[in-house]
Amino acid sequence: MIQKSIALLSAATLIAAGSVHAQQAPVPPRVDDLVVSADVLSEDKPVGDYGQPEWVKQRRFSTTRIHLQKNPWEMGVEEWYRVRTYDGGRVTQRSQTEFEMGLPYRMQLDIYEKTIHDNSDDKGWQQDEFAVELRYAFANWGALHLNPALYFEYAFAYEGSDIIEPKILFGDDFGVGWHWGVNLIHETQVWGEKTPEWAISGGISKTLVDNLLSIGVEGKWTKPDSENYEAIFGPSLQWRPTDHTHLDLVTMAGLTNSSPNAECWLIFGYDFGGSSKTQGYKPTSLAGR
């Protein structure tokens, strides 16, 4: 009888211990919880209202645009400076001020003013064009392969014909800290000769310090007429000293006889509104929590 009581007491003790251990065991994560791997960089996580990662919201490439930079009604400004050098000592410069604003329904509006300078004439700095650009993304980031978006620009020229420039934008990330973008570009005059110009631009970058420093390469191939084509290619660097600012430096060399010897870009951008890093992006299943 005593042995049977001891056996029953032991069994009860084991059951109780197992119950306590089960209560202390970690609860497995729910399937619909947003889980981000520890090896994903902060700038690769979805932070925009349309799921864009941080690197997309901070313009990474000079000649290649990707998806949407701004959330609805979020605004920003950028100052662009471009210099080209040619044989014979000719140097052209272009200064551009750009205002950006996000719109609902996966759209973005950009407005910019350009001035130019060419040392081969005596005109000095002069206004070149005033342009309006509208982008439309087909879906939130990651919902479609290559994240396609449409781009349409209308440039009001101060001299000569106005210009229209439609583009198809693609871009994505891969691995840890690797980013890329490709644009298919068509440009033509509204009146006059209406010579069509076709181009392809692209870039790839690698993050060295998360949300701070990245390096990469960019290039552009352009066919301005039926006889010539231009090609430029070279390294790029982006420095992001604060959540709201980015500084891009690109130096590309000409690869054909009709190309400029060099084309260099310096871009400084400032974003108004709240920091997207602190706002965060939530999928629909988490929005009500």
Average predicted confidence (pLDDT) for the chain: 85
From residue 163, how far is each of 61, 130, 149, 167 by CA, in Å? 23, 10, 20, 13
CB 281, CB 49: distance < 8 Å = yes
| Boundaries of every domain in the chain | 53-274
pLDDT band at 141 (very low <50, low <70, confident <90, very high): very high
Written out in words, the top-level CATH class of the domain with range 53-274 is mainly beta
Please state the rounded mean pLDDT for residues 273-289.
43
pLDDT for the residue numbered 24:
44
For 261, other C-beta atoms within 10 Å of its C-beta total: 13
pLDDT for res 227: 83
Query: For 186-235, what is each residue's pLDDT tens digit?
Result: 999 999 888 899 999 999 999 999 999 999 999 999 998 878 899 999 99
Report pLDDT digits (tens) over 24-35: 444 444 433 334
More confidently predicted of 275 and 100: 100
Cα–Cα distance for residue pair 275/246, rounded to 1 Å: 13
Taking the model in full, what pTM does it have? Answer: 0.80
